[in-house]
Amino acid sequence: MPAQTGRTVVVTGANSGLGYEATEAFAGHGADVVLACRRLDSGRDAAEAIRETLATGAEWASAPDDGSLTVMELDLGDLDSVASFAEGFGANFDDLHVLCNNAGVMAIPRDETADGFERQFGVNHLGHFALTGHLLEDLRASDGESRVVTQSSGVHERGEIDFDDLQHEASYDKWDAYAQSKLANLLFAYELDRRLDAAGADVTSLGCHPGYADTNLQRRGPEAAGSTLRLWAMKVANAVLGQSATQGALPMLYAATAEGIAGGEYVGPGGLLNMRGAPELQESNAASRNEETADRLWTVSTELTGVEYGLPNA
């Protein structure tokens, strides 16, 4: 991982799991990192823990001095909060070099965001769509190339964008809803890169997935459903099959910092069934590369969030 000194990075969901590990790595390599967290207290606890770790002199740190950590409130399930975060960021930072759209929810009982969206689609896709749009000028203001990295999942292969029932009001399956949101993440990532390229912007957009990583994400669904049996089953599966969150964060870090990587790429672990191992360039499924679907999703997302990018069609 190259030194990140002088670079500003935003990581959503930075208080735990993959976001926490990525934040520690960015800061250890000299970046000024904004921890974008729904709960400020959790974000502050995470920042303090990272500072304590870095103070011990992490062996992998390549910067002569650690970067800074700033905690800011961001609720991706509330478009007003997304806009407020972007305004606050712009008031305190001059530019943005890396935006990691990492936060998400997985396989939870049906719920709605503050704006009435099905929560998985609203948080995982629409919240990040709005956030990226609000921060686009900050990304374009940076010296040199900036990157947007959007976290997806291998489960995107199960996904289908149901334009007739995007909010899963007619019927709801928690895994179908999650898969739709993860497919939407990749359609967005690739369409964003095409539009940035058409605009001649020095910003690239990539997708990634962590494989099977042992994080709190898997536990939230069983906890929300009140299922002790499923919670214990998930804990066992994580212990037996999952790689560490540190390892799971590597595809996102690779997509964000690797030299010579092109926009529109997809990065994931290259080991067993693409569930674990070192990061490599991979191929997402054909549905994620469907430009007609991506263009329609972009239009719908703009209408739902009210966020305009001002970028030409690809």
Residue-wise pLDDT for 188-215, tens only, equals 999 999 999 999 999 999 999 999 988 7
Q: Kindly state the tokens that stand for 235.
A: 């804990």
Active site residue 178: yes
Tokens 């990634």 -> residue: 208
β-pair partners for 10? 34, 99
Residue-wise pLDDT for 234-283, tens only, equals 554 455 466 999 999 999 999 999 999 999 999 999 987 889 999 999 99
Quote the DSSP letter at residue 47. H
Query: Active site residue: 20, 178, 190, 266, which one?
Result: 178
Q: Please check the confidence at residue 287 and state whether its pLDDT lies above 80.
A: yes
8-304 CATH, one of 3.30.420.40, 3.40.50.720, 3.10.180.10, 1.20.120.550: 3.40.50.720
Nearest Cα to Cα of residue 152 among 176, 124, 193:
124
Q: Rounded to an integer, what distance in angstroms lies between the CA atom of residue 72 and that of residue 86?
A: 10
Nearest Cα to Cα of residue 215 among 21, 1, 6, 5:
21
Pairing, β 98-101 against β 146-151? parallel
Provide mean pLDDT across the span 97-125: 98
Give the pLDDT band (50/70/90) at residue 231: very low
For the entire predicted model, the pTM comes to 0.92
